[in-house]
Chain A
């Protein structure tokens, strides 16, 4: 059995409020944003002055002005995770990373991060999009456990505000920049035991959400929103059918796309607000880092015996789930 031993996160520090977005005068207002997507603030690696004056019309400039790269955030998240587990980078035998918008496409993000951490581990990128948490766990479950190293560092990092066209009234409200890291072990028992996982995709719909390498994030918002709610509900139902889930005890964490979408899901599955953990309201959609960052933020609130259910969806279109038992 695989266990998650510890986690860490890093979030960008610049806060973009709904009022700031309203003041960009691109046809949106603070109240509409909050009512529509339930996000009040999001965090960015970009200076507010830069967004205000340029609307980020050339994302290549964003990279030069950003306070942190996806690699920088990932390194900080990884260091926090390593510290929580009480191991050093030298103890890590494998580093796998998901990055939706890396500053460099080669060497891979995992290689750059491992190098910065001083880890002499095997390092490669394992990339989907927002369902990275589920993909990484499901990917590791493919291995014969005897073939895995003692400690595996998994990371998802993204600075998608650097790829937002701030002249678009919708896109500017969505994203927040963050990285999340989690340490997995086949050899050591930890707080969370992996009971089950799943990952798949429908690539025939891969054009629904895209990030151009040197350009903007674009999505078919309505189609993605409907898909996200429907697919997340399906994932949860499948888990309810195969595991003893009690929503008065167990915890649901979804893809931190937006709060209204998540509330549609929890209303459908009758998950009480107290057992629905999320962080999207004040951090924005953190892509593949969101669900793991949410779990990390609630790490001390995990109660032994609880099942933690993660159901995540995203570009690809791809989706996946994890069921964990707390010890």
Chain B
């Protein structure tokens, strides 16, 4: 299996800590310690700042009328970049899979809306796997019969959680979430920039949701994995991949669990990785749930050199943990 293209899309409106503080959203000491673990210093939103200031987004339906971009539009932008980098057209794609935790419509599937906006008649459906969307898709397609997989599969994860944040009461959520979409083009037959050397993803034994969305979004920091467990999972992942395949620790790119950018920096030091080897998209863009791993990959795409390894370790969303080794060829 190859990743032949990757794309990301972010809205261009930034919400700084100062902006959020000006709304009166103050963090408790506990919340500040959580945010330190997450390492999020800024976030991007599809909502106009004026709208947030005047309404605090009490009614999420109003957010949808004011937002600059819908999840579908963000998803389309990410998909177009992934297709462009793959050097293919949407007509060459035989399957579109998508994930969104914040869809404007629950029917039809987000994949239908994205594929429809791209103007293609193609098999499409959603696979909603939480924050591990892109790792889940890679793992899943790696276990499919090759003859059942089309030449190219477009996988998109798109989320606009800031549109479901209450900026009047939910302080930590306002600081955590950002809007983004990511996309990858996978192919079982056409060699691309990254070969999937190994994929290992398992459900965690007990599940406690860190994020839930009904009307407003809820963030439950008490369900986050403790820092030592995140670090242990990362170290175990590296150990497993190193023993099985050998890792060039000084040269690889590490895409860790994007919910824990603060923890990642500490962990990288223990692993002997330099800060330049870390993909920390969430730190400046906010946490976009299932899209974040893909955006971290896409933001590094043009800088991954031939022979370089990419280690993706996913953990901490309460649902999945695992690791993927990619090799640039």
Q: Which residues of A contact B (CB under 8 A)?
A: 60, 99-108, 110-111, 114-115, 120-129, 135, 139, 141-144, 147, 199-207, 209-215, 217, 315-318
Contacts and interface: CB of A to CB of B under 8 A. Distances in A.
Contacts of B114: 203
Contact of A203 (B60, B106, B111): B111
A105 B213 contact: yes
B242 to A, nearest CB: 25
Given A60-B215, A201-B123, A318-B108, A124 B289 contact: no
Contacts of A105: 100-103, 106, 213-214
**What are the nearest 10 A-B pairs in CB distance?**
A203-B115, A203-B116, A106-B101, A125-B128, A211-B107, A206-B116, A147-B143, A127-B126, A206-B112, A100-B107
Contact of B106 (A111, A204, A206, A211): A211
B104 A212 contact: yes
B190 interface: no
Contacts of A210: 105, 107-108
Given A106-B289, A108-B130, A214-B61, A122 B203 contact: yes
A315 B61 CA distance: 23
Contacts of B225: none
A107 B207 CA distance: 10
B205 A129 contact: no
Contact of A107 (B105, B111, B130): B130
Contacts of A317: 108
Contact of B108 (A115, A129, A142): A129
Contacts of A207: 116
Contacts of A111: 130, 207, 209, 319
A204 B116 contact: yes
9 contacts: A111-B319, A125-B127, A126-B125, A128-B109, A128-B125, A201-B121, A201-B124, A316-B112, A318-B112
B244 interface: no
Contacts of B104: 212-213
A162 B109 CA distance: 18
B96 interface: yes
B127 A124 contact: yes
A205 B107 CA distance: 13
B124 A316 contact: yes
A100 B106 contact: yes
B128 A108 contact: yes
A204 B123 CA distance: 11
Interface centre among A102, A124, A199, A215 (most CB of B within 10 A): A124
B122 interface: yes
- Band of interface residues on B: 35 or more
B11 interface: no
Interface in B108-161: 108-109, 111-116, 119-130, 136, 143-145, 148-149
A123 B203 CA distance: 8
A204 B107 contact: no
Contacts of A99: 106
A200 B60 CA distance: 33
Interface centre among A126, A201, A202 (most CB of B within 10 A): A201
Contact of B130 (A106, A120, A211): A106
A58 to B, nearest CB: 10
A201 B122 contact: yes
A127 B121 contact: no
A201 B125 contact: yes
Contact of A103 (B103, B112, B211, B214): B214
Nearest to A147: B143
Contact of A213 (B103, B126, B211): B103
A111 B128 CA distance: 10
A315 B115 CA distance: 14
Nearest to B201: A122
A210 B319 CA distance: 29
A145 B149 CA distance: 15
A308 B126 CA distance: 27
B57 to A, nearest CB: 14
Contacts of B145: 142-144
B120 A203 contact: yes
